[in-house]
Structure 1
Amino acid sequence: MEYEYLLRIVLAGVCGIVIGYERKSRMKEAGIRTHFVVAIGAALMMVVSKYGFGDMTGSASVALDPSRVAAQVVSGIGFLGAGMIFMQRQTVKGLTTAAGLWATAGIGMAIGSGLFVIGIGVTVLIVAAQLLLHSHFSWLATPKTDQLAIRLANEPGAVGRIEQLLRGKDVAILTFHAEKGVSDIQLDITVRMPAGMEAEQLLPLIQDAAFVHTVEVH
């Protein structure tokens, strides 16, 4: 019987690998190994919760609740997910990855408890949703925020010309920080791009300005 339980754990790990591969392909913080370990760990805890106390069921003085370990997995995985969330230049990153880890733990628990169709079905659903929402279909396009780091010559009106260039492309400036050096100015700008437009499309336009030294997208 334990071989069947081990097979459940292996199957949960495969589902974790599938989700982790999609995340890794987009260079996210948690990739294949993290999702794999979360999935098999959750499946292991679920199997232990359901079947690990069979030798105690005959005791009249012992009351067992098979859901207690599962409940601790649900709350405990939140600490791991919180480690994936961080701030980068006034923008929150890692929310989707953290939510994916939480869902991967649920998949592991489902397969560990014998709900194979549900576990595999949710894996397919998550991967399909990620692929669809990262596609470039125009009807799915929504405004997105990006951070631009621009170093330009310390010339009169240089900052104003960068602002005009961005607004001319319907790019909204959300935050603006400038540090003036001896010979140059460092700009850190958070912008909201129009639907369907990527920040990389701005790079050639900004770099063509003679007073711009470097420009990076974060």
Structure 2
Amino acid sequence: MTVISSVWHISHLDLLIRMLIATLLGGLIGLEREWSNHAAGFRTHILVCLGSTTIMLLSIYGFSEFVNESNVRADPARLAAQVISGIGFLGAGAILRNGSVVSGLTTAASVWVVAAVGLCVGAGFFFVAVLCTFLALVSLILLNKWEKYLLRNRRVHEITVKVLDHPGVLGKIASALGDQGIQIMKMKMIPDIEITGNSLEKPTMQLCFTMKAPEKGKLLAALDEIHRSEYVLSADSPWLEGLPIKRAIKPVSMP
């Protein structure tokens, strides 16, 4: 009887250690995404990393009984290759588009990186797995802050304001933005009709502004000022996702 080489065997303790390491490393990256209120967060990243580790372990050690068969060619990378291409559907689900604003690209990339970390852990490539996790966290936390500071005056953002069609409303909104140092680059008006409970039609419109805002705090202050107007029904900006600026449409009677 031919003895199978030990390279195709792994102890239960080693299996446990690798899967715990995958849970830890995936959780670290997922925790940062969860803290930033992104779609794929703590548990998602843990499951992706743990799943890819399990597949890698299966690919290397799950077919050890067949390595001495003359008609079987063992390839430990065959299942791992399917993880790399197949993980894309999760990333695609994390990418959202609202007008010209696209969000979720970084989260999609982090899910893909976590899958790579899981494959490294499953293959016993611990140094690269830990190093990749460290560099991913540096990119998500430190480089994210540096990028925002560097491009604070160059980013273009959008806000959408729903108002009653009344003279002077546009001027008040433009003044509120200008008072906070926000530069309006483009504006689009979309007519609408607001139907109330008593079936009275109120002429309304949506004002879509494209502008440069120096910082989130000033945009938030401008939105608060805009929403105080009796003719403004709602004000929102995708840039401030996760902050309490989305408001329900308030009842406003025609003067």
Say whether the fold is shared (TM-score over 0.5).
yes
Q: Which amino acid counterpart does residue 43 of structure 2 have in structure 1?
A: R
Match of 2:95 among 79, 82, 85: 85
- How is 1:96-111 mapped onto 2 (pairs within 5 angstroms)? 96-111=106-121
Task: Return the alpha-carbon distance in structure 1 between the equivalents of residues 128 and 164 of structure 2.
Answer: 58
- How is 1:114-153 mapped onto 2 (pairs within 5 angstroms)? 114-135=124-145, 138-139=149-150, 141=152, 143-153=154-164
Task: Return the alpha-carbon distance in structure 2 between the equivalents of residues 108 and 11 of structure 1.
Answer: 9
Q: 1:144-163: CA deviations, max 9, x gaps?
A: 34442323332224235534
- The answer to whether the Cα contact below 8 Å between 1:145 and 1:191 also exists between their aligned partners in 2 is yes
Q: Secondary structure of the residue that 1:135 maps to in structure 2?
A: helix
Task: Return the alpha-carbon distance in structure 2 between the equivalents of residues 140 and 170 of structure 1.
Answer: 15
Q: Which residue of 1 aligns with 2:205?
A: 186
Structure 1 stretch displaced more, 74-83 or 142-151:
142-151
Structure 1 stretch displaced more, 32-41 or 48-57:
48-57
Task: Return the alpha-carbon distance in structure 1 between the equivalents of residues 77 and 85 of structure 2.
Answer: 13
Higher relative contact order (CA 8 A, sep 6+): 1
Task: Report deviation, 1:167.
Answer: 6.1
Q: Which residue of 2 aligns with 1:216?
A: 236
Task: Report deviation, 1:177.
Answer: 4.1
| TM-score of the aligned structures, taking structure 1 as reference length | 0.85
Q: Which residue of 1 aligns with 2:34?
A: 24
Task: Return the alpha-carbon distance in structure 1 between the equivalents of residues 150 and 160 of structure 2.
Answer: 30
Q: 1:139 to 1:92 in 2, by over 3 A?
A: closer
- 2:226 is the counterpart of 1:206: yes
Q: 1:139 to 1:93 in 2, by over 3 A?
A: closer
Cα RMSD for the two superposed structures? 2.6
- How is 1:27-46 mapped onto 2 (pairs within 5 angstroms)? 27-46=37-56
Q: Which residue of 2 aligns with 1:159?
A: 170
Q: Which amino acid counterpart does residue 41 of structure 1 have in structure 2?
A: G
Q: 1:18 to 1:151 in 2, by over 3 A?
A: same
- The answer to whether the Cα contact below 8 Å between 1:39 and 1:108 also exists between their aligned partners in 2 is yes
Q: Secondary structure of the residue that 1:111 maps to in structure 2?
A: helix
Structure 1 stretch displaced more, 153-162 or 165-174:
165-174
- The answer to whether the Cα contact below 8 Å between 2:182 and 2:214 also exists between their aligned partners in 1 is no
| TM-score of the aligned structures, taking structure 2 as reference length | 0.74
Task: Return the alpha-carbon distance in structure 2 between the equivalents of residues 22 and 187 of structure 1.
Answer: 35
Give ranges in structure 2 of 5+ residues lacking alignment.
1-10, 194-200, 239-255
- The answer to whether the Cα contact below 8 Å between 1:149 and 1:186 also exists between their aligned partners in 2 is no
Q: Which residue of 1 aligns with 2:80?
A: 70
- The answer to whether the Cα contact below 8 Å between 1:145 and 1:190 also exists between their aligned partners in 2 is no
Identity %: 29
Task: Return the alpha-carbon distance in structure 2 between the equivalents of residues 190 and 14 of structure 1.
Answer: 43
Q: 1:117 to 1:201 in 2, by over 3 A?
A: farther
Q: Which amino acid counterpart does residue 141 of structure 1 have in structure 2?
A: R
- The answer to whether the Cα contact below 8 Å between 2:165 and 2:205 also exists between their aligned partners in 1 is no
Task: Report deviation, 1:39.
Answer: 0.2
Give ranges in structure 1 of 5+ residues lacking alignment.
none
Task: Report deviation, 1:3.
Answer: 2.0
